[in-house]
Amino acid sequence: MFAKSRTTRLGLCAAAATTLVMTLASSASAANVFNIGHGAGSCPDNHVCLWPEGNFIERSFANDHKYSSVASNQNVGDMGKLGRDSAGDKGMQDVTSSVLNNTGSAVCFYEHNNYGGMEFRIGPREHWPSVPSWINDKISSFKRC
């Protein structure tokens, strides 16, 4: 009797753990999208998108240490470490020139990692084909604010 009830409880625990792992995996895979393409229309819904050139244009970096564009549906505290490849950390630090907020929240962009330094705030659904010159090529982190 005791053994049977214990097995049932373990089975329920395993099922709950499987559900949790699947939930985490699907939210993680949707969090960041890289090299989304040119143009405002390439920004997925509910994401914040950043491009290294004005007018929502991608750029290919010669050393391939940076992404050509980035879309994210989460806060990003260090744009220099969005991913890794064989060459090391890969991100899109200090190059952003155009941004698009495809979310219903305001978004703040920052000069430094972890939301420090100068702050540039844009409203829900705003498109900025060129960010102000004082933050151009300086964005290192961003969050909903």
Contact with Ca ion (CB under 5 A) among 33, 82, 95, 135: 95
CB 104 within 8 Å of CB 131: no
Q: Tell me if 72 contacts Ca ion by CB under 5 A.
A: no
From 60-68, 86-94, 97-105, 108-116, span contacting Ca ion (CB under 5 A) = 97-105
CB 80 within 8 Å of CB 140: yes
Binding to Ca ion (CB under 5 A) within 9-48 occurs at none
Instruction: Count interface residues toward Ca ion (CB under 5 A).
Output: 4
Task: Give me the residue whose beta carbon is nearest to Ca ion.
Answer: 97
CB of 110 to Ca ion, least distance (A): 16
Residue nearer to Ca ion on the CB measure, 29 or 133? 133
Contact with Ca ion (CB under 5 A) among 64, 119, 126, 137: 137
Q: Tell me if 140 contacts Ca ion by CB under 5 A.
A: no
For 144, the 3-state DSSP assignment is strand
The residue whose two tokens read 């604010």 is 145
Dmax over CA atoms of the chain, in Å, equals 73
Q: How far apart are CA 87 and CA 90, in angstroms?
A: 8
What are the CA-CA distances from residue 91 to residues 16, 73, 88, 103 (Å)? 34, 15, 10, 21
Give the H or E element holding residue 63: none
CB of 68 to Ca ion, least distance (A): 12
Q: Tell me if 52 contacts Ca ion by CB under 5 A.
A: yes
Contact residues for Ca ion, defined by CB under 5 A: 52, 95, 97, 137
